[in-house]
Amino acid sequence: MVKTVSSNSDGLVSLVLWGLFSLVTVVSLWMLGDILLLGLDHLSLDFVIGEPADAGRNGGIAPLIVSTLLVLAVCMAVVIPVGLATALAITEFLAPEGRWQATLLRSLDLLSAVPSIVFGLFGYAFFAIQLGLGFSILSGGLALACMALPLFVRITASALAMVPHSYRQAADALAISRVSWCARILLPQSSSGIAAATILSIGRSLAETAVLIFTAGYVMRMPDSLMDSGRTLAVHIYDLSMNVSGGDPAAGATSLVLVVILVVLNLITRKVLPDRTF
């Protein structure tokens, strides 16, 4: 009797899980299909390498791709080293489950939940005005880094904490220094978690609009330096969809390019940081 009840419960749980998985898959494919139907006819090589015209309805998006990649490069150049150092400090140099560690982790959870518009206003007030960077790619990238850091640090710290304690004991028994332990054992064994944190940070940064409207600006020309204003692909999609009459086909094509860039960056990240098994 107990075995029958258990079997029925397992079957019900499996049915629910497969139903949820199917729902998520269908919604994702539906969304991607809508984007393909909307923008595929508008997508071409000239669109990718051309200059925008007629408020973005016509022409291409080459300057926007360059601006997007520059903003992302500034963001990740800050997030990865600072985030790794912070995660290492939390997991390796603070007492496990101590007061300081718990306080920092709760603070990171709170910062991860802060709306992006708040980071946009902070970036505008601090980077654009206080530091005199103005509406620029540098200002936008630094503001994005502030938004992405809590998420990156939280996921990376969790990945570092999952390394088996026996590895630490073996390192102590072999008198391996703390630096060698972190560089040669801890970080390589946590590479899959670090890759996940990097991918999620890239995805959130590429899709962001509110932060960049207040910091990087709207300008559609090709940037000459990090101090130039630049419009990212996400901001361009928002502007075409909300403010430009007849801009939906260009918005759909731009969305497809953004998805392709995200997929390529994910593959590169997975290649650089391959999965490790304990």
**From CA 111, how far away is CA 268, in angstroms rounded?**
28
Q: Give the other-Cβ count within 10 Å of 44's Cβ.
A: 12
Tokens read off for 102: 């718990």
Domain residue limits, the chain: 2-39, 47-272
pLDDT at 70: 94
Inter-CA distances, 178 with 56, 168, 273, Å: 53, 10, 22
d(CA 65, CA 55): 16
pLDDT digit of tens for each residue in the chain (278 aa)?
545 555 667 778 888 889 898 998 898 888 888 888 888 888 888 888 888 888 888 888 999 999 999 999 999 999 999 999 999 988 888 767 778 888 888 888 888 888 889 999 999 999 999 999 989 999 999 999 999 999 999 999 988 888 888 888 888 788 788 788 888 888 888 888 898 899 989 988 888 888 999 998 888 888 888 999 989 999 999 888 888 888 888 888 899 999 889 888 888 887 777 655 44
pTM of the model: 0.85
Q: Please compute Rg for the chain using Cα positions.
A: 22
CA distance 194 to 272: 11
DSSP structural state of residue 230: -
DSSP secondary structure string for all residues of 136-191: SHHHHHHHHHHHHHHHHHHHHHHHHHTS-HHHHHHHHHTT--HHHIIIIIIHHHTH
The two structure tokens encoding residue 17:
């899980």
* Alpha-carbon gap, residue 253 to 170, rounded angstroms: 53
CATH top-level class for 47-272?
Answer: mainly alpha
